[in-house]
Structure 1
């Protein structure tokens, strides 16, 4: 009853509980790991610019990026939607192009390639690749110049990396774009990852996704409740650090996916607890981070909405997703937020702690009462020539005692019980049960003494009297 009432209260706050036991885990959560996009940021991607390798605005980069996004048939994502919308506004379309093949995106390669044929190009194909900067650059041997491709030497690679870092530190989410022309004699019916070589680096795609206005306050509110907020994202370290710093998190405390991949689990156990920002991580690394935090004794919540969040959602003590998440993320979650807002989660944490506190009250009361009755019965049975209570009376006593206990779900909870995470403490429950259970037994023994020595009660009178005393006390 207490858990059901808590779930109803949380639903009124915009938090849907899919598994009732998650309420207790939400109340005990002391670390929240969250994705960046759509939770800390608005989640509304806008294409702010397409630039060439020199950083100048480029219509060619816009056209190639539009074709890549328009012909992609993989999972829908806001970046492609922003590209298609911007291209449509610019008057671009797919006329004159036909799709030959697609090398789909995956979380290890972090890039996607589309192979197209242009109607007037006599059987030649063009591979258009977009993705994470480092993963695209490693496939490129040249960059596009005014007079044709230019060899990508160390100096030019460093210049591209500097531009990427600069825009990332300004808060832009930056993708790289590359292409390759395959003449008719080298054209193929199907393409694979091995064909993503000798690409020409075309330029950059700049997307904006600003932090939410209320994100910084929501983070502070969660921290005030004793919940440490950690950001885990697949985005590059520069934009992740910009967003983290904007909302008041320690952007200097960061681990990248590359560093995590080189670590043993023992090292991650020690570093995860002290790290606030994890960037450029893959789905398996997200799960490793969650398990590392759990290994050091934390109750971990994970908030995510993508396919890449599913392993971490499963691993967390309480998996949290949003109503707009992909199906696999929602199915993996224990709790679903009706709005992608940390303030909604903050209210859910408070409701979870109220419910958890009242659940502890119920368990403490019932265990101590049952323990006291058990000891009283055990002591009375060898001393009396009859049973102290009939079987029907025991069952009725338990039933009637539970009726007022139902109202515990509506009980007020002290502010200090809401202010900090709560955990199951078997030692505290044991002490409560022993102390109050034995006090109950002491009064039962006094009642026995009065009934036998003062009133000289018969079997039926004794059973009725103790039933009444036990029920009232």
Structure 2
């Protein structure tokens, strides 16, 4: 290699002037613009912001800030968390960015990969990553690890004329290669260019939430339009009163739900980050909980890319004791010019010396054996280590190694044979072609792929909760199956090879993908095809990988998972990155996802029960002609049951196995609760308005409150009749506000029943914390109604202790009726639905902790 000089400085400058520079910028994470665009410019945010501007145009600044403020908070939380993930990934990429040595003007120079020009001579030494494509030049040779590209773990020997592909690594040896395909022309770049754009896929829960919110927005818009048209054209209602009513209707849109969803995702992201998993988008944790098929690569994902020496069994045909053979083998591994994963495993497992050798044949993936000859007193002759199938032709005819080989293979172990010829000293002929003499087998050796810590426990945990694991690799399917057995998968798993898969028509691919577990000799395009087939079968698929060959399939999967040590392209498109390559981090991430779903379902139940009930009350009370159900200020009372408590419920949520689809669980709870609340509410409003409860309660509205209310409504309050009507309307609204607040707090108890007696709308929880929160909020509500200043702030009249206690008791009766409806399954019976079984179940999720 001494005759190589590389490009001159002038030649480099000429190529730079022509733009022949490796200046491609592989994305290692999402851009800031992508993050902001996704979180700001979506349909629901735009609608809610338009509503906010409409309220401002009506002069309702407070209402506009209260509604759109939560939208901005949600945007801030989401953007902050995703930018945090981006910066972490960029830091990982920066730390792992290689420095390259090139030969220029006859000397080696260290440069950034982006400064490589076409025809540069790149120096490759152990540990170096190949960043551009090109042929080997000169007489050097090296063993390359191409597992990130092909998925195969075997090292590949590269010599003069052989092509090096970007994305591979040098394990041993030294060589030079010419940079021919640079920038976007490189192999790794072409493989990943179709996956550059980061796509955000909504989870089923997000789709359900979006659907419900769109329905509520449409309903609110329709109600506001009808109210405006009827009031303005037929009832001659004042503009101020119409604006107030519109603000109340718009207030039924659960803005807080957006904020709670964002906070829930952010909390989950922080929790699993502490366990070693980094999320690139907030919904990734929840998406993981929906997965029912986990596809994973083998090399570098389930395994650590290291081999472990297991056992040496001396063969009875020789008289050498095991100690002698072990020392010979340890010496053989230490004396070789080049080392690979197998020889490193031998060195770590056996003692030996480093002797000078007479002749050598290095390992190659084609031969699958290596050999050394020694002329030492302790060790004389030719010694060979390799695959039994490649060496059996050199053994005596009566040699039978099959029983031991098959026994180890059944355990998922790799098997090599160590053999020798006592007199041979030359292994290469006059043409430097290797040849072997007749050999005597000395011992059989077993090796195992080193699984990542907790791999078996994690796979068992996923199996317990119904997640099917499929291993997709570039290795031989039999080798992959052996590893699968080590990882705890059953013996009767189906195997399919890449060539076999190529023959399967698209219409049959889903069935083949579902039936089999091991897929070997699979190309990157076939991985993508398998993921598509599984998704077409209705499965939610997660794909885990670390190499460039996994990028396309990670993009196709519902959840893409990458190792930190994987390629930058893989980390860039992954939804979740396992820090420190911690496979065990998947387990808490899955549990956290289940907790996210559980918490979101509980919160959506609360928000929808409140929204449905309010909508029914607005329509029903408006039809009675007795005024309007609420004022905007009174809506602020909802903070006590759908403002602060949902945050705690999101924090305290526990993983659950759902008894049905989320929307069925939500509607089964929310609709009966809303209808019963509305029926009671109409009676309470009407009763307080007409004075039906005068004999039980002493109620009044201050002149200041009446004057403010009249001014806000744009109506006169001069005659006794006008004042009496306004007073009755304010008192009725106050009583209704108290009742709906107490019912909302009771809903919290029903969502997380602390005792079995209260379980009906949801399964028994046993968690006392939500109930204590509801009790605390109830005390706060009593204080609000008892304090004149707080009553004024919320536009509430004085209904006295008796009136407040009456509304509280009526709320308890309402709750009892709700509990009865849930327990008797009257809602399901009315709609001819199968009753839900919500009894407490022993869930395997708890064993996953």
Q: What TM-score range do you get, normalising by the shorter chain?
A: 0.5 to 0.7
Q: Is the CA contact 1:28–1:423 (under 8 Å) kept in the aligned structure 2? A: no
Q: Which residue of 1 aligns with 2:450?
A: 210
Q: Give the aligned CA root-mean-square deviation in angstroms.
A: 4.4
> Which deviates further from its counterpart, 231-240 or 427-436?
427-436
> Do structure 1's residue 465 and structure 2's residue 735 form an aligned pair?
yes
Structure 1 residue 172: deviation in Å? 4.0
Cα 1:433–1:358 change in 2 (3 A) is: same
Quick check: 1:42–1:211 contact (8 Å CA) kept in 2?
A: yes
For the residue of structure 1 that corresponds to 2:450, the secondary structure is: coil
| Mapped partners of 2:541, 2:550: distance in 1 | 14
1:248 to 488, 500, 507: 488
Match for 1:427 among 625, 650, 664?
664
Match of 1:328 in 2: 569
1:392-443 deviations in whole A, cap 9, x for unaligned?
433x2444432222111123436xx1xx478853333233332222122122
Question: 2:621, 2:627 within 8 Å by CA — same for their partners in 1?
Answer: no
Which residue of 292, 295, 299 corresponds with 1:33? 295
CA contact (8 A) 1:29 1:301 kept: yes
TM-superposition CA deviations, 1:19-65 (whole Å, max 9, x none): 111111111112111111233323325899xxxxxxxx999xx76xx
1:136-179 Cα shifts (integer Å, max 9, x gaps): 99xxxxxx9xxxxxxxxxxxxx965999x9799464499xxxxx
Q: Which residue of 1 aligns with 2:537?
A: 296
Q: Is the 8 A contact 1:257 1:280 kept in 2?
A: yes
More strand by share: 1
Task: State whether residues 2 and 408 of structure 1, in contact with CA within 8 Å, keep that contact through their aligned partners in structure 2.
Answer: no
One of 484, 496, 502 as aligned partner of 1:261: 502
**In 2, Cα distance between equivalents of 1:402 and 1:91:** 78
Name the SS of the counterpart of 1:37 in structure 2: helix
Q: Which residue of 2 aligns with 1:122?
A: none
Shift of 1:357: 0.7
Residues 571 and 577 in structure 2, CA contact (< 8 A), matched pair in contact too: yes
Contact 1:225 1:421 in 2 (8 A): no
- In structure 2, what is the Cα distance between the partners aligned to 1:233 and 1:264? 21
Distance 1:374 1:202 in 2: 88
Higher RCO by CA contacts (8 Å cutoff, separation 6 or greater): 1
Q: Between Structure 1 and Structure 2, how many residues are aligned? A: 371
Q: TM-score, normalised by structure 2?
A: 0.38
1:15 aligns with 2:277: yes
Q: 1:380 aligns with which of 621, 640, 643?
A: 621
The aligned residue for residue 528 of structure 2 is 287
Residues 311-347 of structure 1: CA deviation (Å, up to 9, x unaligned): 1111111111122221111111111112434332112
Answering whether residue 705 of structure 2 is matched by residue 449 of structure 1, we say no
Matches within 5 A, 1:106-117: none
In structure 1, how many angstroms separate the alpha carbons of the residues matched to 2:391 and 2:477?
13
CA contact (8 A) 1:376 1:445 kept: yes
8 Å CA contact retained: 1:372, 1:438: yes
Q: State the secondary structure of the residue aligned to 1:458.
A: helix
* C-alpha distance in 1 between matches for 2:501 and 2:392: 24
C-alpha distance in structure 1 between counterparts of 2:592 and 2:464, whole Å: 15
Larger radius of gyration: 2
Under a length normalisation based on structure 1, what TM-score does the superposition of the two structures give?
0.66
- Residue by residue over 1:217-240, the C-alpha shift from the partner in whole angstroms, topping out at 9 and shown as x without a partner, is 322122112221111111112221
Is residue 344 of structure 1 aligned with residue 576 of structure 2? no
Q: 1:281 to 1:130 in 2, by over 3 A?
A: farther
Distance 1:81 1:444, change over 3 A: farther
1:221 aligns with 2:461: yes
Residues 263 and 44 of structure 1: CA distance in aligned 2, closer, same or farther (over 3 Å): same
Give the unaligned 5+ runs of structure 2.
1-262, 311-328, 349-353, 372-387, 394-401, 417-430, 437-445, 695-726, 744-849
Task: Find the aligned partners of 2:434 and 2:637 in 1 and give their Cα distance.
Answer: 80
State the secondary structure of the residue aligned to 2:304.
coil
Quote the residue 1:43 is aligned against.
Answer: 305
Distance 2:660 2:297 in 1: 25
Distance 1:350 1:377 in 2: 41
SS of 1:271's partner is helix
Q: Are the aligned partners of 1:253 and 1:274 in contact in 2 as well (CA < 8 Å)?
A: yes
8 Å CA contact 1:3–1:359 kept in 2: the answer is no
The superposition leaves residues 217-276 of structure 1 with CA deviations (integer Å, 9 ceiling, x where unpaired) of 322122112221111111112221111122221454111111111112221111211211
Residue number among 260, 267, 280 corresponding to 1:5 in the alignment: 267
Cα deviation per residue 1:362-393 (whole Å; 9 max; x = unaligned)? 11211121111111111111212422212343
- SS of residue matched to 1:281: coil
1:2–1:371 distance in 2 versus 1, CA, 3 Å: same
CA distance in 2, matches of 1:399, 1:366: 11
CA distance in structure 1 between the aligned counterparts of 2:392 and 2:541, rounded to whole angstroms: 36
8 Å contact from structure 2 (residues 494, 518) kept in 1 = yes
Please list every run of at least 4 consecutive aligned residues from structure 1 whose deviation after the TM superposition is greater than 6 angstroms. Answer: 78-83, 89-92, 165-168, 200-203
